[in-house]
Amino acid sequence: MKPRFFWKTMDRKEKNRLKKYLLVQRDLGFDELYLPESTRPGVKMTAKRLNIGDFEKSESLDQLDATINRCKRCDLAKSRTKFVFGVGNPQADIMFIGEAPGRDEDLQGVPFVGRAGKLLDKMLTEIGIRREDVYIANILKCRPPDNRDPLPGEVEKCEPYLIKQIRIMQPKAICCLGRIAAQTILKTTMTLGAMRGRWFDYHGIKFMVTYHPAAILRSNSYMPSAMADLKTLVEVALPHGGKTK
């Protein structure tokens, strides 16, 4: 590959777009650039061929996923097995947010698939919702080692992806699962008890907090309160019983 060759074939507009793209990739933590196999010296390298554009320009969740799924912006990229973008209906009115992938999620690349995920599915079924009707994502897209809490620097680098997911989806309501995720998102030290039963605003979307299914697995005494929270969520997000937009 001869980068200088491509540079010579580009006009000024393409060079500027390429420069911008490379700066974004550097900020994302990439230290190498993937070029498609079809790219050969002699083929004009256009900005479009390089998929130029930052993640903020993504117009769909698939586009966003494709743009960020090789992210190396923080050290979690080194230890992850799979990048965990999110799962569910891209047009869902309800979005669930957890803090970060766990072991099962890291292995499968899908959020909430372990025991806690199965419990969440069961709780959704009890309020008449299928997992496919909602969207589920985490603040961090890569697993912290030993399931430790997200570090502030990791959140700072990864949360913009979550915010972009929300801006694309525009759900009617978000339900945050667990104290750590809620404190991280709301930038607060409030207890879970103080956060539950209230509506907050997160980037223009109604935002509520309930127990993490893992906490309910540890103590089933949280279940009635969690189910009451989910019923409130459905009443607000799906007032006419509809499941999606």
Name the residues that contact ligand SF4, by CB under 6 A.
71-74, 76-77, 140-142, 154, 157-158
Nearer to ligand SF4 among residue 109 and residue 118 (C-beta): 109
User: Which tokens hold the place of 180?
Assistant: 């750590």
| CA 193 remoteness from chain centre | 25
Specify the long-range contacts of residues 58-62, CB closer than 8 Å, at least 24 apart.
58/164, 58/168, 59/168, 60/90, 60/168, 61/85, 61/86, 61/90, 61/165, 61/168, 61/169, 62/90
Q: How far is the CB of 199 from ligand SF4 (least distance, A)?
A: 27
Nearer to ligand SF4 among residue 162 and residue 230 (C-beta): 162
Secondary structure of residue 89 in the 3-state scheme: coil
For strands 173-177 and 135-138, give the pairing.
unpaired
Q: How far is the CB of 159 from ligand SF4 (least distance, A)?
A: 9
CA end-to-end distance (rounded Å), the chain:
47
> What are the angstrom distances between the C-alpha of 98 and each of 84, 88, 95, 203, 211?
12, 14, 10, 17, 10
Nearer to ligand SF4 among residue 99 and residue 154 (C-beta): 154
Nearer to ligand SF4 among residue 95 and residue 100 (C-beta): 100
Q: How far is the CB of 18 from ligand SF4 (least distance, A)?
A: 22
Q: How far is the CB of 231 from ligand SF4 (least distance, A)?
A: 33
Q: How far is the CB of 242 from ligand SF4 (least distance, A)?
A: 32
Nearer to ligand SF4 among residue 74 and residue 129 (C-beta): 74
Secondary structure of residue 62 in the 3-state scheme: helix
